[in-house]
Chain A
Amino acid sequence: MSTRPTTVVGVDVGGTFTDLFFYDEASGAARTHKVPSTRGDQSLGFLDGIAAGLANGKPADFRSLAAVIHGTTVGTNALLERKGATTGIITTEGFRDVLEMRRRDRRQTWGLWGDFVPVVPRDLRLEVRERTLADGTVRIPVDTDEVKRAARELLARGAEAVAVFFINAYANAANERAALAALREVWPNPFITASSEILPEIREFERCSTATLNAYLQPVVAKYIRSLDERLSQAGSTGTLLIVQSNGGVMTVDTAARLPIRTALSGPAAGVIAAAHIAESAGFPNVITGDMGGTSFDVALIAGGRSVLSAQTTIDFGMVVRTPMIEITTIGAGGGSIAGVDRGGLLQVGPESAGSDPGPAAYGKGQTRPTVTDANIVLGRINAERPIGGKLARLDVEAAREAIAAHVAKPLGLDVMQAAEAIIRVANSRMAGAIRLVSIERGHDPKRFALMPFGGAGALHAGALMKEVGLASTIVPRYPGVTSALGCVIADMRHDFVQTINRPLDDLDCAALGAAIMAISAEGRDFVTRGAVKLDGLATVVELDMCYVGQTHTVSVPLTIGADGVIDASTIRQAFEATYRTAFGRLLEGVPLRVLSLRVAAIGRRPKFDLAILAPGTGTLAAAERGERTVWFDGRPHTTRIYDRLALPVGAEIPGPAILEQPDATTWIDPDLTGRVDRFGNLILTRKP
């Protein structure tokens, strides 16, 4: 019997666990699954997880897979751990050090230590004679024989991948294209990146870095996803494998193999996409997500249901990637952040972290300084007898208490409980600072936003953060631990283009711009419809990066383009002024405008499912109760009811103080807050009336 495949699976591979989310398009049923990640070869845990999830008690049938959508950290890890391929660069004579010279920055404002080791060493960066001027004139044509000689030299020195980066290739890519064609004749594999193909945008270091890192990742990421694809096929799947990009969209295996740099922040991006959908379904189009892990707190802002994109990010010092990414602000404040008192007598929390290994003092692995998690344990907010994640049998409360006593309470003259609360307050204030950065500092009114914590620890701090920043409410998703896997299932197909224009608005040929937008949009639609997955519709987002003539920083100005592609200068000016006024307050009279770049995103809308399928079944508040324990808050103990989070029925009202436990997350409801389970199983925290 053959039936149409209807199962869509989202797979998020994390450092410890692989999270899976299964959705059946035909029946509307959904379920989650969690398996240990397999270090070394992520694809093993990946396949095991799908098999186990599909089986659900019966033999696994891979033929039921319609699509597998994957948020991967293979690229991110290869960058952070510098485990990409041996890569060479072929570049313009005189410029082989662009990658290493960066933008002449240093690691930190204060302190002059620390060096920088580029991913491509100097002896694998070869120069050829060629030169294009800023206006696009080719001053010296490239000699393709010289390019081939350079390529053979790089191969002899062990290069597996290669990037071509010529000065001013954004203005005219003729020399790069000629070099690329010559390279293809001699290079034994497809791991070739040209800077003008990946980023035809002015700024040589950023373009060189992005192209180089793409080449550096190509062999690693291509091998990984091709092997996944093959294993899925061998297991019987005819479904499409799609990869989540840092911009929150998904792409095909072929595109991902060619443009792996677009996966640099694949995992976290999927989480933000899910958050946007969960929040909007629940009636919160404006949310700030806070993902609290062991070492960091990642914040992203969603306004009107849409996440904010940034044009570039820095993976590590000097490792710059310029492709559109969901803007995620990270600070060093997590459960493992270490607390201490400096020699000026000031309490500090983080950025130093104990991570998950050796982890907090309570893990009993020899780390004896107190962490945020230790403070939560001592205050009774974390259940020491049943730690989340399932790796440890129990936590050592006494070790946590001793650590706090020795390193915080004694130096500050506080008792242990006061000291533990102090650690939480300082950690909260740092996280609140990150939330202010993405909201208030960008001109958003916090009263219009809800906070959505995810990760295991976020919901322990959410109430305090919401109050400190002045957010309206908090929405804790039903499964805070598998948010990214859910995001994979609903992410849209997406393809981004950028092209430098760099002309005053007064000199801009608007007819040509309109024609270019139409052509690029058509190409983009072609890209996003290649995936052989079900789409609900197509959309194109057009933006111009603009500034006043003389400024160097630009603002992204959204343009609305009609079906005929006609656009005129006065429309562009009005759009700019609206954007600029929002960003900076005052316009500058009489100053001409410049258009630096055109950005076009083609989007294929994938079907969203009704999150009500995640809603809890029938039950009662009383049945969900799991007893009481003492939790410290605001200087005194509170007798606090404990609930099984997943057993709470829709509509349940839980006044604080209360603790909600589930296998991968703990929620703490402050005494002055109250929680309500909505029809999707989310928990909504608001102030008590």
Chain B
Amino acid sequence: MIDPVTLAVLKGRLEQIADEMDATLFRSAFNPIIAEAHDASHGIYDAVTGDTLVQGKFGLPIFVGVMAFAVKATIDKAARDGDLADGDVYLFNDPYDGGTHLSDFKLVRPFFHQGRLFCWLASVGHWHDVGGNVPGNYNPIATESHQEGMHIPPVRLVRRGVLNGDIVEILKANSRLPLSLYGDLNGQLNALDLGARRLAELLADYGADTVAEALRELRARGAQLMRANIAELPDGTYSAEDFLDNDGIDDVPLKIALDVTIRGQEMTLDFSRSAPACLGPVNIARSTAIASCYVALKHVFRDVPANAGCLEPIRFVIPETSILSAKAPKPVGGYTETILRVIDVVFQALAQAAPDRVNGCAYGTINALSLAGHRRDGRRWVMFSFFGGGLGGNPEGDGLNHGNAPISTATIPPLEILEAAYPVMFTRWALRPDSAGPGRHRGGLGAIYEIELLEEEADVFVFGERGKFPPAGVIGGGPGALNRFTYQQGDDFKTPPMVSKMVGIKIRRGERVRLETPGGGGYGPPLARAPEDVARDVRQGYVSPEAARRDYGVVVDADGRIDMAATAMLRRRAAE
């Protein structure tokens, strides 16, 4: 058996390889979604099952759970091909087998040691544009995935080290931004080359048997750690429900319901009561659903390593017909919204079992907003970005103002970079008062972004959620504010019929679009918040005097001074 010291040392070495692959792609990628938003991931996967063995810690958290499925799909394809060789690289973006959505291109490479398959290396990155009928691929009215972009099954992009240029030509021809695609593809190949080189060095240092044993052992430790975490929670069934606004086609709320059953060291996550698959693009594949549960659990149990072992003690119940188990050609382009809701119900359900380990829900929508048009000289431009909101209040303190989504570590591009690159001017980039869910520890604040068009005309697309159902608080904390998207037509600001999903509305020079994002849910009852903290929030403009009175029972004047007597009376009355 491997000694504990070598194991600890190898753990660090293996993680460093995955981290270095991440860093290589971030630095050399062309599109800001990878370079700035880190919407990519790398790891090392089991030779036979494709299970995650090691994953980089700088990539997008959601990929940590999903890549195992992508590698397994490649393993199955390679078995059908029958002639897998050193130097091969498979490429695909099929979302049903490989998870997430069409924008995410997975490159999967076998790693051979002394002529035998030792493990797989994989790289996934979100490409800027992969065809379909909306630039940037967030098409809120898609009813089948063919409208969302090109669809590539696992194909051999590189055969024994030789790149198949024809495939690259096909890919480029199907993107509005072929140069960006070409740059990102090269970056991913560089990252895989590097990973293979580093792994070969490691095997030379420690021997293949020792490394293989370490990988097995790390997985076993992951499972052991997750079991220890589950065993600390009281047995029982804990339920939570939340809703998506709509699917972009029918304006009908879609339920995401979870029943968590804890028994000893095992946990069952049962999504049977959730809505069936829908017409529009908020379906997700089963692989994606499992990956999002993994993300939620890892936010709660932070000491669990990023490998397949953690999922061993967990059973999933997801009916075949569910919105969480989509089959081809159901559209899945808006997968981010659904996985955020899955994470929210995990937090809400676990809050009942582990009140000191969870937090209020985060803002819960990615708000993919694109403005696109042509410049006077005819050149096409597409500005595409995701926007931030508040994180939930938690046992330690208030939620973070203007954070990134739980599925992501993405940073937002500087507005000066956006203004330099596109004909737009931001007129506001600010925190949104009264957007945080009240609580003993309140949520973090959401934001207000307002953008004015400087060219003649542009088409606006937005794909958001939380327009009707706000992010929930936990342990008695209140919800954050609703998401609100408005766009200017002449003198009026209008709201889209599907609340925060909209395709192809035209705005003209001087007109603006405005996005007001939710804050996070609160933690603990608002009446338990110290009046002085509420008054400070009023002085800072985070909370209005009206909301202080309504939500917290604290009476504060415009200068932020507390009326003690009135506050005491109000709080007494509220407590009754």
Interface set of A (CB-CB < 8 Å, partner B): 94-98, 100-107, 109-116, 121-123, 131, 133-134, 139, 167-168, 170-171, 202-206, 342-348, 412, 414, 421-422, 425-426, 429-430, 433, 436-437, 441, 502, 548-553, 583-586, 588, 591
A345 touches B4 (CB 8 A): yes
| A346 and B221 contact, Cβ closer than 8 Å, known pairs A104-B412, A553-B26 | yes
Residues of A within 8 A of B16 (CB): 433, 436-437
Contact: A113 with B30, CB < 8 Å?
no
B410: A residues at CB distance < 8 A: 104
Q: B397 on the interface (CB 8 Å rule)?
A: yes
Q: Contact check, A348 vs B8: say whether CB atoms are below 8 A apart.
A: yes
* Contact call B406/A123, Cβ cutoff below 8 A: no
Neighbouring A residues of B299 by C-beta, 8 Å? 110-112
Nearest residue (CB) in A for B5 is A422
A residues in contact with B303, CB < 8 Å = 342-344
**How far does the Cβ of B355 sit from chain A's closest Cβ, in whole Å?**
14
Task: Establish whether residues B5 and A584, one from each chain, have CB atoms under 8 Å apart when the complex forms.
Answer: no
Q: Is B31 an interface residue (CB 8 A)?
A: yes
A257 to B7, CA, bound (A): 51
**Which one of B44-52, B268-276, B465-473, B536-544 is at the interface?**
B536-544
In Å, the complex CA distance between A92 and B32 comes to 26
B4–A422 CB distance below 8 A: yes
Closest Cβ of chain B: how far from A282's Cβ, in Å? 29
CA distance A551 to B427 in the complex (A): 26
Tell me if A95 and B430 are in contact (CB < 8 A): yes
Interfacial residues of chain B within 373-432, with CB under 8 A of chain A in the complex: 387-388, 391-392, 394-404, 406, 409-417, 419-420, 425-431
Question: In the complex, what distance in Å separates the CA atom of A112 from the CA atom of B404?
Answer: 10
A107–B450 Cα distance when bound, in Å, is 27
Chain B positions near chain A (C-beta within 8 angstroms)? 4-5, 7-9, 11-13, 16, 20, 23-24, 26-32, 35-36, 57-58, 61, 179-180, 182-183, 186, 190, 193, 221-222, 224-225, 228-229, 298-299, 302-303, 305, 359, 362, 387-388, 391-392, 394-404, 406, 409-417, 419-420, 425-431, 444, 447, 450, 454, 539-542
B224 to chain A, nearest CB (A): 5
Known: A168-B416, A551-B28. 7 other contacts (CB 8 A): A94-B429, A97-B402, A106-B403, A112-B391, A344-B221, A347-B5, A584-B190
Shortest C-beta distance, B368 to chain A (Å), equals 14
In the complex, what residues of A have CB within 8 A of residue B426's CB? Answer: 94, 167
Find out whether the CB atom of A344 lies under 8 angstroms from the CB atom of B5: no
Interface of A is mostly: loop
* A to B CB contacts below 8 Å, 5 in the list: A94-B427, A115-B397, A133-B425, A167-B426, A168-B416
Asked if residues B179 and A591 are in contact (CB atoms below 8 Å), the reply is: yes
Min distance, Cβ B347 to any Cβ of chain A, angstroms? 9
- Smallest Cβ-Cβ distance to A98: which chain B residue: B429
Is there contact, CB below 8 Å, between A97 and B429? yes
Bound Cα distance A197, B193 (Å): 43
Contact between B388 and A204 (Cβ–Cβ < 8 Å)?
no
- CB pair A203–B417 under 8 Å, yes or no, is yes
Give bound CA distance, A667 to B27, whole Å. 39
What are the 3 A-B residue pairs with the smallest beta carbon separation, nearest first? Answer: A344-B225, A344-B221, A104-B388
Nearest residue (CB) in A for B409 is A109
- CB closest residue in chain B, given A167: B416
Q: Give bound CA distance, A92 to B398, whole Å.
A: 28
Known: A94-B428, A412-B4. A112 touches B402 (CB 8 A): no
Bound CA span A398–B428, Å: 63
Total of A-B residue pairs, C-beta within 8 Å: 209
Our pick among B9, B27, B406 for the contact of A112 (Cβ within 8 Å) is B406
CA gap between A109 and B27 in the complex, in Å: 19
B57 and A109 contacting across the interface, CB-CB below 8 Å: yes
Give every chain B residue within 8 A of A348 (Cβ-Cβ).
8
A106: chain B residues within 8 A (beta carbon):
391, 400, 403-404, 409
Residue with the greatest number of chain B CB neighbours at <10 A, chosen from A426, A430, A548: A426
CB distance from B395 to the nearest CB of A (A): 8
Q: Are B401 and A115 in contact (CB under 8 A)?
A: yes
CA distance A548 to B225 in the complex (A): 45
What's the least CB distance linking A329 to chain B, in Å?
A: 13
Chain A residues near B224: list those with CB within 8 A.
343-345
Query: Which residues of A have CB within 8 Å of B221?
Result: 344-346
Chain A residues with CB under 8 Å of B7's CB are 346-347
In the complex, what residues of B have CB within 8 A of residue A102's CB?
A: 402
CA distance A433 to B17 in the complex (A): 10
Q: How far is the CA of A168 from the CA of B392 in the complex (A)?
A: 33
CB distance from B196 to the nearest CB of A (A): 13
Provide the bound-state CA to CA distance between A96 and B447, in Å. Answer: 12
Bound complex: CA of A538 vs CA of B442, how far in Å? 57
A103 cross-chain contacts in B, Cβ below 8 A:
411-412, 414
A433 vs B392: C-alpha distance when bound (angstroms): 34
Closest Cβ–Cβ distance, residue A202 to chain B (whole Å)? 5
Contact of B431 with A347 in the complex, beta carbons under 8 Å: no
Q: Is the CB of B420 within 8 A of A502?
A: yes
B228 touches A343 (CB 8 A): yes
Q: Are A591 and B183 in contact (CB under 8 A)?
A: yes
Give the docked Cα–Cα distance between A540 and B225 (Å): 56
Within 8 Å CB of A116, what residues of B?
Answer: 400-401
Contact B183 A548 (CB under 8 A): yes
Question: What residues on B are CB-neighbors of A170 within 8 Å?
Answer: 416
Known A109-B61, A112-B406, A343-B228: A204·B8 in contact at CB below 8 Å:
no
Which of B4, B299, B425 has its CB near the most chain A CB atoms (within 10 A)?
B4
* Contact yes or no, B12 A100, CB < 8 A: no
With both beta carbons as reference points, the residue of chain A lying nearest to B221 in the complex is identified as A344
B362: min CB distance to chain A, Å: 6
Known: A345-B4, A422-B4, A585-B193. A204 touches B416 (CB 8 A): yes
**Which residues of A lie under 8 Å from residue B36 when comparing CB positions?**
552
Determine the distance from Cα of A202 to Cα of B421 in the docked complex, in whole angstroms.
Answer: 12
A122 to B412: give the CA distance in the assembly, Å. 21
B8 with A104: CB separation less than 8 A: no
- CB–CB B403/A122 < 8 A: no
Known contacts A104-B388, A347-B4; A425/B417 CB under 8 A: no
Query: Contact: A441 with B23, CB < 8 Å?
Result: yes
Residues of chain A within 8 A of B193, CB atoms compared: 585
Question: Are A426 and B428 interface neighbours, CB within 8 A?
Answer: no
Question: Which residues does chain A contribute within 8 Å of B400, judged by CB atoms?
Answer: 106-107, 112, 114-116
Task: Tell me, rounded to whole Å, the shortest Cβ–Cβ distance linking B37 to chain A.
Answer: 9
Please name the residue on chain B nearest to A426 by beta carbon: B8
B171 CB to nearest A CB, Å:
15
Q: Are A588 and B302 in contact (CB under 8 A)?
A: no
**Cα–Cα, bound, A542→B447 (Å):** 40
Closest B residue, CB atoms, query A421: B5
By the criterion CB–CB under 8 Å, are B431 and A97 in contact?
yes
Nearest CB of B to A576, in Å: 14
What residues on B are CB-neighbors of A204 within 8 Å?
Answer: 414-416
Known: A112-B359, A112-B362, A133-B425. A426 touches B417 (CB 8 A): no
> In chain B, what residue has the closest Cβ to A107?
B400
Inside 8 A of A585's CB, which chain B residues have their CB?
Answer: 190, 193
Instruction: From B417, B428, B447, give the contact of A202 (CB < 8 A).
Output: B417
A100 near B392: Cβ-Cβ < 8 Å: no
Which residue of chain A is the closest to B56 with respect to CB atoms?
A109
Q: Whole-angstrom distance between the alpha carbons of A594 and B412 in the complex?
A: 21
The answer to whether A583 touches B27 (Cβ under 8 A) is yes
Residue of A nearest to B392 (CB): A112
User: Which of B222, B419, B427 is the most central at the interface, judged by chain A CB atoms within 10 Å of its CB?
Assistant: B419
Query: Closest CB of chain A to B73's CB: distance in Å?
Result: 26
Give the complex CA separation of A202 and B428 in angstroms: 18
Min C-beta distance of B72 to chain A, whole Å = 24
A120, B400: Cα distance in complex, Å: 16
Q: Are B9 and A425 in contact (CB under 8 A)?
A: yes
Contacts of B416 in A (CB 8 A): 134, 167-168, 170, 202-204
Taking a contact as CB atoms under 8 Å apart, the answer to whether A552 and B35 are in contact is yes
Pairwise interchain contact B431-A586, C-beta atoms closer than 8 A: no
Instruction: Collect the chain A residues with CB atoms within 8 Å of residue B222's CB.
Output: 344
Q: In the complex the two chains form, what is the Cα distance from A675 to B402 in whole Å?
A: 55
Q: Which residue of chain B is the closest to A434 with respect to CB atoms?
A: B16
